[in-house]
Chains A and B, each alone.
Chain A
Amino acid sequence: MSAEIPEAASAEEQKSEHIMHPWSLQPSIPNNLEEMEDKVTSPEKAEEAKLKARYPHLGQKPGGSDFLRKRLQKGQKYFDSGDYNMAKAKMKNKQLPAAAPDKTEVTGDHIPTPQDLPQRKPSLVASKLAG
């Protein structure tokens, strides 16, 4: 990514331009940010350092396979019908363990029941844009 550094008008020119022409010539990088770049590291690298400090185990390749694969797997829900039926058979009289009320994702040891799954009916209401 190339950094654009066009000529910045003087402060006075900018101010009068701002009043007369709402469409103003904006420098692509504000002046104080440029100074920062010269003095320390780039803001991006500073942000990177912040992130690494918070999450030391963050992988080396952020755009790499893990992140992309997570994107490709969007929408995956896991349900084992065998487990479900076995649990139903074992606990004929008892209730299946219910999910905590605030759990939206059904995962782990909990075996989902039809009541736990979020409703996936189509919108019965018309769009509010059409109201």
Chain B
Amino acid sequence: MARRAGGGNDIQWCFSQVKGAVDDDVAEADIISTVEFNHSGELLATGDKGGRVVIFQQEQENKIQSHSRGEYNVYSTFQSHEPEFDYLKSLEIEEKINKIRWLPQKNAAQFLLSTNDKTIKLWKISERDKRPEGYNLKEEDGRYRDPTTVTTLRVPVFRPMDLMVEASPRRIFANAHTYHINSISINSDYETYLSADDLRINLWHLEITDRSFNIVDIKPANMEELTEVITAAEFHPNSCNTFVYSSSKGTIRLCDMRASALCDRHSKLFEEPEDPSNRSFFSEIISSISDVKFSHSGRYMMTRDYLSVKIWDLNMENRPVETYQVHEYLRSKLCSLYENDCIFDKFECCWNGSDSVVMTGSYNNFFRMFDRNTKRDITLEASRENNKPRTVLKPRKVCASGKRKKDEISVDSLDFNKKILHTAWHPKENIIAVATTNNLYIFQDKVN
């Protein structure tokens, strides 16, 4: 039996919790659009299509019953963004939260950035567990006392109260994006951050909302000449001058902000050469990168395109060092996937804390993990059928064609409406958060 290691050799994943409604009729507002652990892993934030953020907090571990780690319970929830209408451009602005990114904790309060298509907001989440009592001029309920009735003086004191968690918007970064924001990323200097839309990337200072610097602009002079858009962007975890952005054509550009103010010329271009004889109508669409993530070490980056996950060494631009097929059996279904728009689904990917295992989602509520060291992979399912705590999840297998073995699922039986686009891995432990359409699953490795 494998022990719980930071790495990933033969981890046994168990169901821990599931959040959200059971009913099949999903309201659009409840569709989960982003999931993110904070830097310690104690907090887990989700954003949804209705513009709401829900933050879960891990319970302190029960030292006596050490068979499982603390559960995640609701800590705070608030309406981050609201629907808007830009009258000047006749543009409807969705309140859907595209991304949430946590700031590292500097004091008692927690801070996160949340963004919709147009506006980024800095939220402060703070706890209040004491309240002042014993004012001289106010009653306990807040009414003012008549000063002439005061005969003695007392010193107000702080008394404990039930914990109250308050979320307040501290900064609103608006009006800097013509196109739709797809990424935000906090710099390792913890003072600045970038926001990227389809054609431009802007650099902000967390304290300054009325100004932002444009650092990448790929808008052509003539829009007829538009051939690619920016799909994701991220700052390097350690080098505050370095960031990458991915494109709809499957390329990744690494830029150095020291080189020039406008980083239109990349320092490195990562692109895997394509065999022209293999090119088809679908080639460009399925090569579009939907997510890019640096490893914690900063030495590698991972990209997700429609069918695969690729690991790139920052020192090698001409091809990835590792490629993992997520659901290669879909290659023979591309026609229908184009017709039902699934081919445009944007899957995200994530690293585990030690960069030894990567994870991404698929259809039918399946998600996949690839162990970089052992080269083994596993397919698991997020489903309420396995929801007894500490039940080990059974691996799933999809049968591409031909004879289907028992317990295998054929490609044609896959439910393409059940997509896992967003997953997150605890920064230190083997705890993962997996979002189905409207439910959040938490799985942990078996602790013995």
- Residue numbers of A with Cβ under 8 A of B are 1-2, 4, 6, 21-26, 28-30, 32-33, 36, 42-48, 50-52, 54, 58, 62-65, 68-69, 71-72, 74-79, 120-123, 125-131
Contact = CB atoms under 8 A, between A and B. Distances in A.
Contacts of B395: 22-24
B329 interface: yes
Contact of A1 (B77, B82, B91, B308): B308
A120 B440 contact: no
A121 B280 CA distance: 44
B20 interface: yes
A130 to B, nearest CB: 4
A62 B284 contact: yes
Contacts of B54: 127, 129-130
The 4 A-B pairs with the shortest beta carbon distances in the complex, nearest first, are: A63-B284, A23-B376, A43-B332, A123-B50
A63 B248 contact: yes
Contacts of B438: 128
Interface in B7-33: 10, 12, 19-21, 29-30, 32
Interface residues of B, number: 84
B331 A44 contact: yes
Which of B226, B227, B308, B394 is most buried by chain A, counting CB atoms within 10 A of its CB?
A: B226
A52 B281 contact: yes
A28 B375 CA distance: 12
Interface in B77-96: 77, 79, 82-83, 85, 89-95
Interface string B314-356: 0000010001110011011111001100000000000000000
Which of B324, B335, B338 is most buried by chain A, counting CB atoms within 10 A of its CB?
A: B335
B364 to A, nearest CB: 16
A45 B283 CA distance: 10
Contacts of A44: 278, 280, 282-283, 331, 334
A2 B319 CA distance: 9
Given A48-B282, A51-B338, A120-B83, A72 B229 contact: yes
10 contacts: A6-B375, A23-B374, A43-B334, A47-B334, A72-B199, A75-B91, A75-B117, A129-B30, A129-B46, A129-B48
B378 A23 contact: yes
Given A48-B280, A122-B82, A123-B79, A28 B325 contact: yes
Contact of A127 (B50, B307, B331): B50
Given A42-B280, A127-B52, A78 B90 contact: yes
Given A65-B227, A123-B79, A129-B30, 14 more contacts: A1-B308, A22-B10, A25-B376, A43-B334, A44-B278, A44-B334, A46-B332, A51-B338, A51-B339, A62-B284, A72-B226, A127-B50, A129-B54, A129-B440
